[in-house]
Amino acid sequence: MRTGRRIGPVFLFAATVAAAGCAPATPDASQLLRLATTTSTYDSGLLDSILPVFEGAYDADVDVVAVGTGQAIEIGRSGDADVILVHSRNAEDAFVADGYGVERFPVMFNDFVLVGPHADPAGIASAATGAEALQRIYDSQSTFVSRGDDSGTHAKELALWQAASLTPALTDAWYLSIGQGMGETLQFAHEQQGYTLADRGTYLSVADTLPDLMILFGGGTIAENPDQAMRNPYGVIQVRAPDLQSSEAQAAAEFVAWLTSLETQEMVRDYGVAEFGQPLFYPSSTAWCEASGPDSPGCSS
Amino acid sequence: MEVIRLTFVVSVVALAISSVLGIPVGSWMGLRRFRGRGLLRTLIYTGMGLPPVVVGLAVYLTLSRQGPMGDLEWLFTPAGMVAAQVIIAFPIVAGLTSAALEGLDPEFPLQVRSLGANARQEAAAMLRQARGGVIAALLAAFGGIISEVGAAMLVGGNIEGKTRVLSTAIVLETRRGEFATALALGGVLLVLAFVVNAGLLRLQVTPRHPS
């Protein structure tokens, strides 16, 4: 758990209150920006790695609220965040279409993998697609652990079931919908020796605590993932503020531009390579795709 | 609704077990003088302040496949949840029962004994006398159990239709962004707590028997 960034804002708040009490606010005080995002971007350490660059360059302080995609979008809807960075394409498009967001920009992607016990009782390792793998789990009634929390990962799982034309019932003893985060769900699957769908980044970051689980579908790296439908794209959206000329709104727009810029995208590409031997996220912003060519993975969509 | 039924069953069973264990231990600690009583009392009072999530973690590791009691297969079952809740609630029942008995008039046990009561009758008379405090102990324990979320989430696993209780459902709905549903479930939790508390308090107001 990385706590530095979560403690920072509290100190800053206390310092701001103290400062406000004794001195008039200086016009060049650093801009406070609140980012609502998913636990996957935060727990992977990506934000801790790249945000200080933005804070330094723009004299801003970014408060990160790391929650499920559903809650992150709701926080944006109620105007309690300036920017959201999430991974649930349909919900993102609805957020913009309903007028809560300015525009959705692609940022990066990683992919989903199906993990399970080494014995692979359902035999999903030889499946051609994620949907086929789920079909085999369904047919063999093997234990499957679902996030069940309206997260981006849960949305992807439901889309895969739909692609397989199956609807597992909550009354099925083998289908366990636990409504918890990715880390907890992986621990649960490990304990129960069941299958689950996980984003590769989170799985890699906790894999050393899960000796009895392995990736059974999705390959060793994102390039080896046989199914394009297992891609997991992230988007960034500036929340539509009442006054788009306000300093918060401008800082939010600056943040979106910075996150999708070529320089930041290169930082995203390099993050995690030293620690995990492969990137956790692959850049896919418009600027990145223009620079690296349309054949670059994730740029065609 | 399954969530409400399970919340009720788990909480009431955990409270019943905590009472069966906690009231005798609390009485013993409150009425008798023995070696190690001070230490026991400190341990029980410390137990009252145990963070539930730490209890949950310990129970989780004990019941886990690799844990010493993994063969029970209680992890992610209501039985495991009850075990964790008993560990949380037992010190509350024992500690507050003992405090209630210690708060009685020191003359009272002498009077009871002078009437020819044996040790057991004496303890029963003392408990009747301190009934208000004992019931407050049960109410505090029940409040702790029904609203507890950390251990219920860890040990129960929040499985829909199997181990999801009101407190963990509220956390889930909040994370989903379904704030209205979360708040409504909070209301249901309050109503459930009110009903059980009202039932327990009825025990307190029944007319006292002369002892």
Mean pLDDT, rounded, for A210-214: 95
Choosing among A75, A143, A153, A180, which should be mutated to test the B contact, i.e. which has the most B CBs within 10 A? A180
Which of the residue ranges A79-83, A179-183, A255-259, B150-154 has the most confident prediction, judged by mean pLDDT? Answer: A255-259
Q: Does B159 contact A at CB distance below 8 Å? A: yes
> What are the residue ranges spanned by the domains of chain A?
4-109+233-292, 110-230
CB B153 to CB A177 under 8 A?
A: no
Band of pLDDT at residue A125, cut at 50, 70 and 90: very high
Nearest to B139 by CA among B170, B96, B85, B98: B96
HSE-up (13 A, CA, CB side) for residue A179: 26
Choose between A3 and A200: higher pLDDT: A200
The mean-pLDDT minimum among A49-53, A103-107, B54-58, B160-164 falls in B160-164
CB A170 to CB B160 under 8 A?
A: yes
Segment A30-60, tens digit of pLDDT: 788 999 998 888 877 899 899 999 999 999 9
Mean pLDDT, rounded, for A7-12: 43
Tokens of A247: 């300093």
CB B159 to CB A70 under 8 A?
A: no
CB A178 to CB B160 under 8 A?
A: yes
For residues B25 and B99, is the Cβ–Cβ distance under 8 A?
A: no
State residue B206's pLDDT score.
Answer: 60
State residue A43's pLDDT score.
Answer: 74
Distance CA A225, CA A231 (A): 9
For residues A216 and A114, is the Cβ–Cβ distance under 8 A?
A: yes
User: Chain A contacts of B164, Cβ < 8 Å?
Assistant: 179
Q: Does A198 contact B at CB distance below 8 Å? A: no
Secondary structure of residue A214 in the 3-state scheme: strand
State residue A173's pLDDT score.
Answer: 92
> What homologous superfamily does CATH list for A110-230?
Periplasmic binding protein-like II (3.40.190.10)
State residue A295's pLDDT score.
Answer: 76
Q: In the 3-class helix/strand/coil scheme, how is B129-167 assigned residue by residue?
A: HCHHHHHHHHHHHHHHHHHCCHHHHHHHCCCCCCCCCHH
User: Chain A contacts of B162, Cβ < 8 Å?
Assistant: 176
For residues B154 and B99, is the Cβ–Cβ distance under 8 A?
A: no
> What is the assigned CATH class of domain A4-109+233-292?
alpha beta
To the nearest 10°, the Cα dihedral for A37, A108, A231, A202?
Answer: -50
Identify the closest residue of chain B to A186 by CA–CA distance: B157
Identify the closest residue of chain B to A193 by CA–CA distance: B65
In chain B, which residue ranges form alpha helices assigned H by DSSP?
A: 2-31, 37-48, 52-63, 78-102, 107-114, 119-129, 131-147, 150-151, 166-176, 179-205
Tokens of A110: 């990683």
Q: Does B158 contact A at CB distance below 8 Å? A: yes
The answer, yes or no, to whether residue A277 has pLDDT greater than 50, is yes
A31 forms beta bridges with A60
CB A177 to CB B76 under 8 A?
A: no
CB B176 to CB A75 under 8 A?
A: no
Choose between A204 and B14: higher pLDDT: B14
Q: Does A227 contact B at CB distance below 8 Å? A: no
List of domains in chain B: 2-205 (1.10.3720.10)
Which of the residue ranges A179-193, A231-245, B5-19 has the most confident prediction, judged by mean pLDDT? Answer: B5-19
Band of pLDDT at residue B209, cut at 50, 70 and 90: low
The average confidence (pLDDT) of chain B is 91
The answer, yes or no, to whether residue A27 has pLDDT greater than 90, is no
User: What ipTM did this prediction achieve?
Assistant: 0.74
Q: Does A188 contact B at CB distance below 8 Å? A: yes
Could you give the C-alpha distances from B203 to B19, B123, B199, in angstroms and in order?
A: 14, 18, 7
